[in-house]
Chain A
Amino acid sequence: MPETDQAARRLRRPYPDPAWLRWTLILAAAAVVGVLIVIPVAQVFAGALAGGASVYWDNLFADPDTRSAILLTMTVVPLALVANVVFGVAAAWAIARFRFPGRTILTALIDLPFSVSPVVAGLMFVLLFGRQGYLGPFLQGHDIKILFATPGLVLATAFVTFPFVARELIPVMEAIGDEEETAALSLGASGWQMFRRITVPNVKWGLLYGIILCNARAMGEFGAVYVVSGHIAGQTDTMPLRVEKLFQEYNLPGAFAVASVLTLLAILTLVVKAGLERRRPEGPHVD
């Protein structure tokens, strides 16, 4: 039945694109992805494994400075994540649930770390905590080290990645509304019970998604960390800083080896994110 076929095709597309146009567009997209993403990523692994598996292993774990960089990133990133989950949930709650003066300004400020250059963010912390900074003398007097130490790295990383969790949560919480929370309270729940049993399950997909994005960005953070770390080898070098340093020292296999680990972590994040997206119900269903 040709008529039905035609009708079906019309349903699929409002008008048919010619084959040459379709294939040109597909090839162009594939070429861009290939040249800009696939080949460079493959190159990272090729460079890392150029000397064989044992050299790769040595490059990663025989060098104490590289080892410490991997360890430092694994310390800084979880701490920054925890801080951002706490602050992100608090900020999203305040913005989605309350109407208060300055709410619009707070909403705009949450996005600030996205628009400020990470280097500037790092400088802000130097200005605040540095020897000549506002809090510098106080910190020195009490023997507290923030700059050129792990706390500074955590602060800088958390600052740069702050918007992810809050940004993911605000629309979800606004769409879901506070009726279920009020219902929980009317049934005798305490504030904490309401939060844990009703709010968290309702926003868990948004929260997880925010954490994953935040994690990906935090692992790769370079600019802000570069400024506050003082790049002391074996002490305040995170993985991205270590890659840069090895590269500057013409140790290409070493640089590629560390870069390959970062890349692997990024790919892993993407896989987890894709898996979550498949399981995540389509948006918060509000009826």
Chain B
Amino acid sequence: MSIEVRNVIKAFGSFRAVNDVSLTVPTGELVALLGPSGSGKTSLLRIIAGLERADQGQVFFEGEDATVRAARERGVGFVFQHYALFRHLSVFENVAFGLRIRPRPARPPEAEIRRRVMELLKLVQLDWLADRHPAALSGGQRQRVALARALAVEPRVLLLDEPFGSLDAKVRQELRRWLRRLHDTIKVTSVFVTHDQEEALEVADRVVVMNQGRVEQIGTPQEVFDRPATPFVMNFLGHVNIFHGRVESGKAILGPIALDYPDHPGEQSLPAAGYARPHELEIARSADVAGGLWAVVRHVHTAGAVVKVELADDEGRLLQVDLTRQDHAQMRPEPGESLYVRPRTLRVFVNAAGDAGA
């Protein structure tokens, strides 16, 4: 079932947690709401679920206005950040809860409840723990019980609030791949909230990047990573090197770097900044190709899949360059050495120096 959010506003006192957000989630997609804490992503999720009421704006399920419907009437499965499992009930009864509380005509018979709960527990690979209580489970197991419980009511939409937020790094990675596979199996429209860009980019079909209650960009993981719409998205999705400067007359002059910028042909000079990711910078011992700057190597971190080289230019600004291990083996930059740094690609955002936050 598709979800549409139209011009939703939610304020807590004078603070606008969600500020005029509109977005569409097509049927069967897995969408990530990505943003730093306080960006309004959890509030938006709770508004979609009906656990929170929007001050303004509407929520549509399958084109039907669900704004005033209570949470229990929306057919939504919600997975809470801290799982919120019923501590006094066994794993089995936790999952069965949503079926047992149905009014008698809609309630499946006991045998059917048993069959469905066990089927779900098999799906999340926890059928062997059906009789345990939540306190006896690990974090990852609790997370999967919470998921099975939400799925038991056959929701038309699955909403997950920081589903892997309180798990350790290794379990996180396993669980998010598992969630992706699970979604490919059951294909229920899903929205999950996360502050971890890696998680969002790896799991989601589509990523909604949020900042200060607003949507910065909506796109596939590749789109938001390769073509960030704003400096914030650029910054949030990974480490960046920033070159401050100006644009005028079709040129961008960013410190020592000058390049063509046809988007601004006017003569008026505007502040601008160029952004490059560490792997988009290259380093050389000589300035054969123009458009770079000299910097001194501070540190070389060789432990990892890429080699991180940290440099400082003559004004003391730090630059980070990622080299493949092969490039590093060929070049072997040493701390103290002066190298020529040149961006292979540079994204220029006009008038962005203030918003970049870097």
Contacts and interface: CB of A to CB of B under 8 A. Distances in A.
A43 interface: no
A179 B76 CA distance: 16
B41 interface: no
Q: How large is the interface on A (under 10, 10 to 19, 20 to 34, 35 or more residues)?
A: 10 to 19
Nearest to B70: A185
Interface in A232-287: 285, 287
Given A182-B51, A188-B72, A188-B153, A197 B101 contact: yes
Interface in B69-96: 70-72, 76-78, 80, 82, 84-88
A280 to B, nearest CB: 13
Contact of A188 (B49, B82, B102, B135): B102
B98 interface: yes
Given A197-B101, A285-B135, A287-B135, A187 B153 contact: yes
Contacts of B86: 180, 183-184, 198
Nearest to B103: A190
A117 interface: no
A56 B88 CA distance: 47
Given A193-B101, A197-B101, A285-B135, A185 B72 contact: yes
B97 A186 contact: no
DSSP class of A's interface residues: helix, strand, loop or mixed?
Answer: helix
A183 B84 contact: yes
Contact of A187 (B70, B88, B97): B97
Interface string B36-70: 00000000000001010000000000000000001
Interface core residue of B72, B98, B150 (most chain A CB under 10 Å): B72
A202 B101 contact: no
A94 to B, nearest CB: 20
Interface in A191-231: 193, 197-198, 201-202
A185 B73 CA distance: 10
Nearest to A182: B51
B156 interface: no
Given A193-B101, A285-B135, A287-B135, A186 B78 contact: yes
A189 interface: yes
B149 interface: yes
B88 A201 contact: yes
Contacts of B80: 179, 182-183
Interface in A152-193: 179-180, 182-190, 193
Nearest to A198: B86
Interface residues of B, number: 24
Contacts of A190: 72, 101
Contact of B84 (A179, A188, A193): A179
Of A180, A184, A193, the most chain B CB neighbours within 10 A belong to A180
Nearest to B89: A201
A183 B88 CA distance: 14
A218 B156 CA distance: 53
B142 to A, nearest CB: 9
Contacts of B153: 187-188
B178 to A, nearest CB: 22
Contacts of B78: 183, 186
Interface in A32-70: none
Contacts of A183: 78, 80, 84-86, 149
Nearest to B142: A287
Given A182-B84, A183-B86, A202-B88, A189 B135 contact: no
B243 to A, nearest CB: 46
Contacts of A198: 86
Residue from A184, A187, A285 having most chain B Cβ neighbours under 10 A: A187
Given A186-B49, A188-B153, A180 B101 contact: no
Contacts of B85: 180, 183
A186 B72 contact: yes
B84 A189 contact: no
Contacts of A184: 86, 97, 101
A189 B96 CA distance: 12
Nearest to A186: B78
A187 B96 CA distance: 10
A134 B72 CA distance: 47
Given A180-B84, A180-B87, A285-B135, A186 B71 contact: yes
Contacts of B97: 184, 187, 189, 197
A163 B153 CA distance: 40
A168 to B, nearest CB: 18
B117 to A, nearest CB: 13
B87 A202 contact: yes
A187 B98 contact: yes
Interface in B138-161: 149-150, 152-153
Nearest to B106: A188
A185 B80 CA distance: 12
Contacts of B87: 180, 202, 285
A187 B82 contact: no
17 contacts: A179-B80, A179-B84, A180-B84, A180-B85, A180-B87, A183-B84, A183-B86, A184-B101, A186-B49, A186-B72, A186-B78, A187-B98, A188-B101, A189-B72, A189-B101, A198-B86, A202-B88
Interface of B: 49, 51, 70-72, 76-78, 80, 82, 84-88, 97-98, 101-102, 135, 149-150, 152-153
9 nearest CB pairs, A to B: A187-B98, A179-B84, A183-B84, A186-B78, A201-B88, A188-B72, A189-B101, A193-B101, A180-B84
Given A184-B97, A189-B97, 19 more contacts: A180-B85, A180-B86, A182-B51, A182-B80, A183-B86, A184-B101, A185-B71, A186-B49, A186-B51, A186-B76, A187-B97, A187-B101, A188-B72, A188-B98, A190-B72, A193-B101, A197-B97, A198-B86, A201-B88
